[in-house]
Chains A and B, each alone.
With several copies, the nearest count.
Chain A
Amino acid sequence: MELKQILEAIVFSAQKPMSTGELRTLLRETPEKLPDEPQTGEYAKATVRAVEKALEELAVEHDAADRSYRLACVGGNWQFVTKPDFAPWLQVLVGAKPRPPKLSHPALETLAIIAYRQPITRSEMEQIRGVTVDGVVQTLVERELIEVCGEADAPGRPRLYGTTQFFLEHFGLKELDELPAADELRRIHVELATAPADDSQEELPLDNETDEADDDPNEADDEDDDDK
């Protein structure tokens, strides 16, 4: 028996996605609670890192097996999920997912700004979008996609907003670093903040890319399809 297999069996059977912390606790508690199962003692001391590594290996194995499902980490929680191709049958099986209405364009835009630039104040969002964001921010808070995560060190101590755990779940992201082009977009913040006069040179080569990225969202979709 391997740690990997045990973790697989647990995630496979769990009725909710499991974090590495929860998995580790379960490994530690099992021999305590079931002293009659001495073989479980061996895995009691597995570190979070070892658990994480095992899960990552498992995910790779499952991807390679190319089945109708895969092991995914969403918002730090591990779960088995089916691949999108099979959605029609599952929709008929379990019914359409009970989801609130899709997010509007302004909401998505504001959410993108918050996601990449968090923590961020309302006025900073408005500066980027060029319009007031009051209503949109309220909607996003109500939908639990963002939350107040502090106060800015500025006059009036405006609230700082950041994304929630549910944000990651809603978009199926493992962590914020998995946001598309996260490295570029999240870094810009630092550059602008620390060296505002610096980026006139740097902007140019990047701009070419950005500009060519026409607004066809299908292009990315197609690439995704190839992965399947």
Chain B
Amino acid sequence: MPDFRIQFKVFEGPMDLLLFLVKKQEVDICEVNLTGLATQFIEYVELMKQLDLDQAGEFIVMASTMMYIKSRELLPVSEQVGDDDDGDDGDPRWDLIRRLVEFKRFKDASDDLQRLEIEREKVYTRRPGSIPIDPLPMGNRLEASILDLVGAVNELLQRVAGREAAKGEIVEDRWSISEKIVAIRERLGRVDQLKFSGLFDGVRSRGEVVATFLALLELIRLKQLMATQDDLFGEIEMFIAPVEMQQIKPEQPEPVTT
């Protein structure tokens, strides 16, 4: 007897109980022995009344339907299939079966929903804290800053490296910074000023680019050379600094004919 009490608490209504009873018969819903089902259902409801359980109202309504079905002493359901001339619609048997089928489907559907709910809980949506744009290459920032010069140099280096790779030859890296210092000074001796971009035009190897650039930086650092810009984004131009501004004279290597 106490198990019944437990069972009642689990059933969420008469449909739930009916479905449980159908399952106990272990047959297809449409093959279920309705009379037996009705008998069992009424027994349960009687028990509920004895146990004085709440929420029995819905069960009692259903119980009256079951009693009506029972009282008609129905034939087994299977024999009724296809025999729809006397209007299944009003037949409480069919009505009940249909409701049971429908109810079971929704019960299954609610299991599916529960499965989806559990699955969804394991899924995390990407929500980046900020918009992660790849940092732009430095060369795309302000023109004519030292960082941009560096960026430009880097591009040159890559281009030269690509050229070397394409040719399949490796240019021997013989350029030194001191040589380039001399070369830049010489060129600036011939022209008053020189544009930054012009410095690298004939340069052939990565080593040479680096040497040229470092020479330039060093000349600027030693104030032998001045870099100016007409405007913020203008091309950098270089010229020899007035002698009095020059601090150190680097040792001059042997000049070379050009």
Contact = CB atoms under 8 A, between A and B. Distances in A.
Whether chain A touches chain B in the assembled complex (some CB pair under 8 Å): yes
Nearest to A12: B126
Interface in A142-194: 169-173, 179-181, 184-185, 188, 191-192
A35 interface: no
Interface residues of A, number: 81
Determine chain B's interface SS by DSSP, over half rule. helix
A209 interface: yes
A84 B136 CA distance: 6
A131 B15 CA distance: 8
Contact of A130 (B14, B81, B137, B254): B14
Contacts of B233: 105
B9 to A, nearest CB: 12
Interface in B216-238: 217-218, 220-221, 223, 226, 229, 232-233, 235
Contact of B103 (A128, A198, A216): A128
Contacts of A185: 105-106, 109, 150, 210, 213-214, 217
Contacts of B149: 112
Given A112-B146, A130-B13, A212-B201, A179 B109 contact: yes
A217 interface: yes
Contact of B84 (A169, A179, A197): A197
Contact of B58 (A99, A132, A169): A132
A79 B126 contact: yes
A87 interface: yes
B70 interface: no
Contact of A210 (B101, B124, B226): B101
B89 A203 contact: no
B122 A87 contact: yes
Contact of B122 (A17, A72, A84): A84
The secondary-structure label for the interface of chain A is helix
Given A16-B129, A102-B117, A217-B111, A207 B103 contact: no
A90 B122 CA distance: 9
A97 interface: yes
B145 A81 contact: no
Nearest to A205: B258
B12 A105 contact: yes
| Most A Cβ at <10 Å: residue of B82, B97, B155 | B155
Contact of B141 (A108, A210, A221): A108
Contact of A215 (B99, B131, B198, B203): B198
B174 interface: yes
B132 A220 contact: no
B251 A215 contact: no
B178 interface: yes
B82 A201 contact: yes
B134 A200 contact: no
A102 B107 contact: no
A42 B175 CA distance: 48
Contact of A94 (B110, B131, B229): B131
A98 B128 CA distance: 13
A70 interface: yes
Contacts of A188: 102, 105, 177, 214, 217-218
Interface of B: 12-16, 28-30, 55, 58, 62, 81-82, 84, 87-89, 94, 97-99, 101-117, 119-142, 144-157, 159, 174-179, 182-183, 186-187, 190, 194-195, 197-204, 208, 210, 213-214, 217-218, 220-221, 223, 226, 229, 232-233, 235, 250-251, 253-258
Interface pairs A-B: 8 shortest CB-CB: A203-B256, A172-B135, A209-B202, A200-B253, A213-B198, A199-B176, A180-B154, A131-B13
